[in-house]
Each structure stands twice: as structure tokens, then as C-alpha cells.
Amino acid sequence: MKKAVIFDLDGTLLNTLDDLADSTNYALSKFGYPTRTIEEVRQFVGNGVAKLIERAIPEGKNNSNFEECLAIFKENYAQNMYNKTAPYNGIIEMLSNLKSKGIKIAVVSNKFDLAVKELCKKYFEGFIDFAAGENEAQGIKKKPAPDTVISVLNEFNFAPEDAVYVGDSDVDIMTAKNSKMPCISVTWGFRDEKFLLENGATILINAPSEIYNHLA
């Protein structure tokens, strides 16, 4: 039996898409840029908010307003990240079940660290043993580098074989591979089953309760 489950956050535990899209479009509109659809934003997320804005803004990082647009997004999102966000169906029950079995639960995300900790506190207080977001300013490389996952393992004093990684994207599949642990890919998130299989998924689940079948 695995001793720990390490989860991605957006698209895995929480459906954050609407709030991310609203803040993206708020920032874009401040400069008169075209807004983006929900489906466009769905394809932009997964590599952190800087990459989200880079993909959303005309000309990406070459746009002279990129840094200011990103700052406006972060400020707006920090104030509005609870408006429409909610756990996916079955997530709370699944976390409660894991907790009751003595399994450690962690969250590793490319979202900025403050938002990750605040979201985990609001929606999953009492369930999450360790949460880490993007913190490259401290020299910790974001996913798919294994740095944040390794920080979790060090916190728990576990080896990679003691844990399993759960996520909804190709970045998560690569993160698990780089961390030398199996990846459970979820089909209810921001990437569909076809995309996940094309990007190396080997374990697919359609409901949170199915996680238990892969912890032996």
C-alpha cells in the first residue's frame, strides 16, 4: 500500500477554470486586448499563471505589457479565486477516505504558492498535509521538474516508491516520470482522455473513488 498520494490542484482536485478565465479576461481587457473563451483558457492552463498569460496575450512575452498584464491578473485572481471555484464531485469523500486509512496527502501545483496554500486551506483544511506551489524565486523549479515533488517526499521522509502522483495533464505525466513514481491521470480535468493517452498516460480514472484501486 502506498503511504502518500500527491495531487495536482487545478483540474484534479478543484475546478478553477471559470475564475482563471475571468481574471485572464479582466487583465486582457485592461489593455483593450481580445478576451478568451473558456475552451481557450482550458488549453492555456497547466504550466503556471505566467504561461497562461503568455498564451493569452497577443504576441506573448514579446508584448511590452506582458509583465503588467500578469501582475494585474495575479492581483485580480487573488481577490476572486473563490467566486466559482469548487472541488469536483467525489473529491472530499475521496480525501476523507484516504485520511481515514492513514495515507499522507499532498498538493503540488504550478500555480503561485500563495494561491495554492489559500485554496487548500479554504477547500481542504484538515485533509492536506503539505501544499506547495510555484516558488522558482527560491530556486525550486516548477513542474515537470521533480523539485516540488521531492520536497514533499522529504517532508514526509518517504521514497518515490512510497507515493503515487495524480494529475490531469501532460505536465503531470512528465512530473511523475521525472519523480520516478507512477502517475494516475484523471479524465474529469482540463485535458481529455485522448490527449492524455497521446501524451503517455498509463493509468486513467474517471472518478475520484477509483484512486484506491491503484494504491496497492
Q: What is the pLDDT of residue 136?
A: 80
206 and 143 co-located in one domain: yes
63 and 149 co-located in one domain: no
50 and 119 co-located in one domain: no
Per-residue pLDDT, averaged over 167-177, amounts to 97
153 and 124 co-located in one domain: yes
Domain boundaries, position 120: 4-15+86-214
92 and 172 co-located in one domain: yes
pLDDT tens digits along 68-122: 999 999 999 999 999 999 999 999 999 999 999 999 999 999 998 999 999 999 9
56 and 99 co-located in one domain: no
pLDDT tens digits along 196-206: 999 999 999 99
Domain end (from 41, 62, 80):
80
160 and 139 co-located in one domain: yes
Domain end (from 43, 64, 80):
80
Residue with cell 482522455: 193
Task: Name the band, by pLDDT with cuts 50, 70 and 90, for residue 18.
Answer: very high
95 and 141 co-located in one domain: yes
Residue with cell 503539505: 130
Please state whether the predicted TM-score (pTM) of the whole model is above 0.85: yes
Q: What is the CATH number of the domain that holds 61?
A: 1.10.150.240
32 and 118 co-located in one domain: no
CB within 8 Å of 210: residues ≥ 6 apart: none
Residue with cell 472518478: 207
pLDDT tens digits along 38-66: 999 999 998 889 999 999 999 999 999 99
Q: How many domains does the chain have?
A: 2
Outline where 45-198 has alpha helix (H).
49-56, 66-80, 91-100, 113-124, 147-156, 170-178, 193-198
124 and 51 co-located in one domain: no
204 and 102 co-located in one domain: yes
Provide long-range contacts, Cβ within 8 A and 24+ apart, for 179-186. Answer: 179/146, 179/149, 179/150, 179/153, 180/146, 181/6, 181/149, 182/214, 184/211, 184/214, 186/11, 186/12
118 in Cβ contact with 19 (< 8 Å): no
Domain end (from 64, 80, 96):
80
3 in Cβ contact with 103 (< 8 Å): yes
